[in-house]
Chain A
Amino acid sequence: MTKDSSPQRAALEDALIVVRCQLGERAAFDQLIKRWQTPLWRYARNLTGSKHAADDVAQEVWLRVLRGIARLRDGAGLRAWLFGIARNILMDRLRQQYAWPVSDEADFDSLAAADEGWAEHEIELAALQTALAALPLRENEVLTLFYLQELTLEQIAALLGIPSGTVKSRLFRARKMLRQQLDQQGVLS
């Protein structure tokens, strides 16, 4: 996704890709995956704390997408549909595992960078990643969906099956908890 696309244009682009996929254009599927693989993978990575788990989840998401896209009525709702599938898969994994995987994975490769400025940036990002992973599932999820995946409050509410007011209060609580985590790590001055 291009950063300079307005939300309306992005929705139109999504709708066009969906229609082309439904027509059976194979190139449209490649475009769909290239457009959404990264955000989906990051979403899964944020919630599982594991790159391998994120790979598995992404595979499963695309399998369901390829089998279900012919039935998608509103192409403009592609983003919410994709993340809805990803969320269902993640919830199924959690139910099977009966435990939330604790993320103790730090991005050590990035920390080994020679350039100090870049390393400092990566340290801050790693701290943010650790802080996010330390949050409870509900708070982690709303932060990821709102800030990283740029879903609206209404879309998040529909996705999670909760009122918009509940989403707002979770976001407020999540931001507060994240700030506390980052304070403890000494990232915020």
Chain B
Amino acid sequence: MKSTAYSHPDMPSDLSALTARELSLKARLAVVLLLLVSAGMTVALSSLLLTESALPLRTMIAFAVMIVIGLSWVGFALWLLSTRRVLLAADAVIASRMALCFCSLFFVGALALSLGTGKAAGFGAAVVGLVMTAAAALMLRRANRKHAALLARRAELERLLQGSAA
């Protein structure tokens, strides 16, 4: 039975639009940025809420609400990255570098603030920032390894194909 039994469809032009939309690096990195900013905001507000005992009740409630909002955005960004805007190898390296820069800046900023003002909130945020920086560094290492492994696999497959064509 021949595969020419049915009419050959033209490649739909909307597939080009689909790939452009789904593979947009800007969209992916925007989600990464959303994750980082939401996480940073959540950490900062949580540190304030946990360490500043003299806050009025309405301020504490407002902080709590903003923390919930921040966590929601973090959850949403993570869901997007795992289902809709999945990072490809090269994208993951870029995203990990962004995360490392952002977390490092956050850590340094929180540490400087805590040393300058002596506020406990700053120390709390600096500790969490340090943990986030370490996590980002591990993610970058993992992304680089995966990228290198894929590059090696690509080279191997190209060699095998050249060998089978010869």
Q: List A residues at the B interface (Cβ < 8 Å).
A: 6, 8-9, 12-13, 15-16, 19-24, 26, 29-30, 33-34, 37-39, 41-42, 45-46, 51, 54-55, 58-59, 62-63, 66-68, 70-71, 107, 110, 125, 128-129, 143, 147-148, 150
One of A21, A23, A58 near B151 (C-beta < 8 A)? A23
Determine the main DSSP class of A at the interface with B. Answer: helix
A67 in contact with B22 (CB, 8 Å): yes
From residue A75, how far is it (CB to closest CB) to chain B in Å? 8
Q: List 20 A-B contacts (CB under 8 A).
A: A15-B157, A19-B154, A20-B154, A24-B91, A26-B23, A29-B19, A30-B19, A37-B9, A37-B15, A42-B3, A58-B12, A58-B15, A59-B14, A62-B19, A66-B19, A67-B22, A67-B83, A70-B89, A125-B6, A143-B1
Determine the main DSSP class of B at the interface with A. Answer: helix
Closest 5 CB pairs of A and B: A24-B90, A24-B88, A147-B1, A16-B157, A66-B22
Residue numbers in A under 8 Å from B57 (CB-CB): none
B147 in contact with A23 (CB, 8 Å): yes
Q: List B residues at the A interface (Cβ < 8 Å).
A: 1, 3-9, 11-12, 14-15, 18-19, 22-23, 83-84, 86-91, 147, 150-151, 153-154, 157-158, 160-161, 164-165
